[in-house]
Chain A
Amino acid sequence: MFENEKNSRLKFLKLSLVLGGTVAAGSLGFKRLLTKEEALKDAPICGGAYGANTMVFTTDGKVYKADPSKLHEVKMPPVSNDEARKGIPGKKFVMVIDLAKCDGCKKCTEACQAMHYTESEREWIKVFKMKGSKDTAPYYFPKPCFHCDNPPCTKVCPVNATFKRQDGIVLIDNERCIGCRSCMVACPYSTRFFNWSHPEQTPEVANAVYSPEQSYPRRMGTVEKCDFCPDMLRQGKMPACVTGCPMDVIYMGDQNEDAVTNGSGVTVKLSQLLEDNAAYRHLEELGTDPRVYYLPPKNRKYPTPSLNEKSGEGIEKKIKMDDMKM
């Protein structure tokens, strides 16, 4: 009933390596070294006809004989689920978005969607057209997940499927999520999306081994959202939205290092950037303690967004703009 997650699991017991001999076993640090004969004698046959001659190791160190034609390589997530729940040691990730530079081109959204194989209407980072009130200036407002330090979403999760990591990132484990959507109603920023139906994804994506750090393959009946690309961060690379932005609007970095870097690779001092630009956080009065800072849209380098004043599009009376010290 619930897609083929069981199949893909069985399909290969998370086989990560296709090996012809046992030499590699030692170098990979398996506890016991096997001779080729020993291994071949005891190895159960899996996924092929009798007489299969390729040997495979599973991640838990078991040896199987298998038919090579039935094997396919699987990209393993960089870390285990336990590790993904802890976060990257010693880091405290932070994002800064410079509203003065954003021209609303939505390249960040596109880059994000390409990286996470997201459907087009699901914008993990969404560019809003904002206008505080009738007489204040309109501006573009890219909004990812704020990865709050006092996250309303993780508080209400009944099964710890969404969690806050020590590196500041809030993630979702879609292998545990029961789909109650408490986190969606709790999030004040409409950041979360639900997989209402069978997700449309290519077989390649659907068969990938899941990790909360890469957020795919997505599964029906579970929640997803912006994850700050922790799989990229782990490799020392920037998230898709940062590199995808042609205007260098988005900075990403580590608060512990007090440094953030933009898409062109320019690194600046975080505290200085926030200080010089009188940075603020969106809806500060809610007390959620976001990890995303905004630099006010002062001296904008782009034409103001066109707003359909009649229909009230973009004019958000609901949003308090008191926090904008312009």
Chain B
Amino acid sequence: MIDSETKDLNNEIETLREDCLRPTRRWSTITILWVTFLVLVAGWGLGVYIYQLRHGLGVTAMRNYVSWGLYISTFVFFIGISHSGTLVSAILRITKQEWRRPITRSAELLTFVSLLFGGIMPIIDLGRPDRILNLVVHGRIQSPLIWDVICIMTYFTGSTVFLFLPMIPDLALCRDRLTDTKSLFGKFKKWLYTTLAMGWHGSSEQWHMLEKCMKIMTIIIIPIAVSVHTVVSYIFAMTLRAGWDSTVFGPYFVAGALYSGSAGVILGMAAFRKLYHLEKYITPRHFNLMGQIVLALTLIYAYLNLNEYWIPAYKMATTEGALLGDLFWGPYSKVFWVLQFGTVLLPIFVMSLPVGRKILPLSITCIIIVIGAWVKRYIIVVPTLLHPFMPIQEVPADWATYFPNWVEWSVTMACLAGIFLVITLFSKLFPMMAVWEVAEGIELDRDKKNAFELRKKREDGLLKNEGVATSKI
């Protein structure tokens, strides 16, 4: 009886392992085309960036009034998306949510990649990237920009470790099950897996160590993540400018980050589920639960939005009033109201309904949320810069307006392509689900079921003081 169950369990775990390793074994034509496309977009952007380096930031649409534009908006957006990994992975780990197991890896990966490119955006925006070492040589701890550098580097290091640690047993699995070791690429993979697995052989000592490290990382990554988006907001909130001079900016940015980041996780879940045939593991239940989380976060974000706009709108003080006029009924009003109703209130309504948390409607809602979050960053950055305290008088026409030009779009899209490229390559090299964690989940389920049956039998009086061993991991 027990034997056949163990066999079943082993079979199930074996299927799981194969399901997870399959995408890493061969490249389909579509994958190759997709990667080629991404490389082309990224390459074009790189070329345009070199052009920008040669001729200066003057090739962008930025001028003296709007001196921060699409680059800085995208920086804030990417850093926001990076909050996904921490949220889903760390918070769900710490609260022992069993259903998190199949989705942690993709969430952590999303954090890692969006931070990588988020961190690059301000460097792209620098007038003198050749002097970047001045940040170290002449760094001033009083500057919010230095807080950003410190917090983002810490978060990047932390989330890299956080992504890597639970990958170790899976890397060992990849190493042990690598079939193609003859081709050049096969040899590279063998070297890669062997190096990264760091001699993992699954001894109890190693498991103990891994669990301990994970516990520590889970706890410290949460405050680090919160600090990151808080100080990102501080580069705006520490100025006197209308629209930015707000005490609610820290939590407002953190909430906005969590809302867009968790929506990003759902999109990742949906994509990998479909592309890598993980329907068995990532189920509608996961979407339902994640949908509830995004709903909760959207509600918090909506609440902070209300505070951010309603309080100054009641007063309509001078410069702030003029800025709000632009947003409420001026040139930015269409975008502003579409953002408020379309990407905040509508998602709340949709996700409140059980049918709205089904896979397709939820994915569409999350696409809307993610794009909305990006545009919202732009609406936070640009209109404020067009509302200085001194009137804009007798200046060249291009100083008084702003819309990103082809240079900024090219470079920004290249960074987006870079994000997709790293995710794609990662998923072609490593399992996109934490195999051992899901296996552990299956075993725990089985244990729970056994224990339940055992108790039932005992209650039924079928078993009397009989010692029964349950399978331990």
What is the interface of chain A, defined by CB distance below 8 A to chain B?
Answer: 1-2, 121, 126, 128-130, 143, 152, 155-161, 176-182, 184-186, 188-190, 192-198, 220-223, 283, 286, 288, 313-314, 316-320
Contact = CB atoms under 8 A, between A and B. Distances in A.
A130 B64 CA distance: 21
B388 interface: yes
Given A156-B143, A188-B240, A196-B58, A182 B235 contact: yes
B122 A159 contact: no
B56 A197 contact: yes
7 contacts: A2-B128, A128-B390, A189-B388, A189-B390, A196-B58, A197-B59, A198-B55
Given A188-B389, A196-B63, A318 B128 contact: no
Interface of B: 53-59, 62-65, 67-68, 122, 125-132, 134-135, 137-140, 142-146, 149, 235-236, 238-242, 318-319, 321-322, 385, 387-393, 395-396, 399
Contact of A196 (B62, B139, B149): B62
A319 to B, nearest CB: 7
A189 to B, nearest CB: 6
Contact of A185 (B54, B55, B68): B68
B284 to A, nearest CB: 46
Nearest to B244: A185
B140 A159 contact: yes
A223 B59 CA distance: 17
B128 A178 contact: yes
Contacts of A156: 143-145, 235, 238-239
A190 B238 CA distance: 16
B134 A176 contact: yes
Given A182-B143, A197-B58, A320-B318, A221 B389 contact: no
B23 to A, nearest CB: 41
A132 to B, nearest CB: 11
B51 to A, nearest CB: 11
A194 B66 CA distance: 11
Contacts of B319: 318-319
Give 9 closest A-B pairs by Cβ, nearest first: A179-B127, A221-B127, A196-B58, A197-B58, A158-B145, A318-B319, A158-B143, A221-B128, A197-B56
A190 B131 contact: no
A92 B395 CA distance: 33
Contacts of B125: 180-181
Given A121-B396, A159-B139, A194-B127, A318 B132 contact: no
A181 B138 contact: no
B138 to A, nearest CB: 4
A188 B241 contact: yes
Contacts of A288: 240
B138 A161 contact: yes
A190 B138 contact: no
Nearest to B64: A193
Given A179-B126, A180-B122, A190-B65, A155 B132 contact: no
Given A157-B140, A319-B389, A185 B57 contact: no
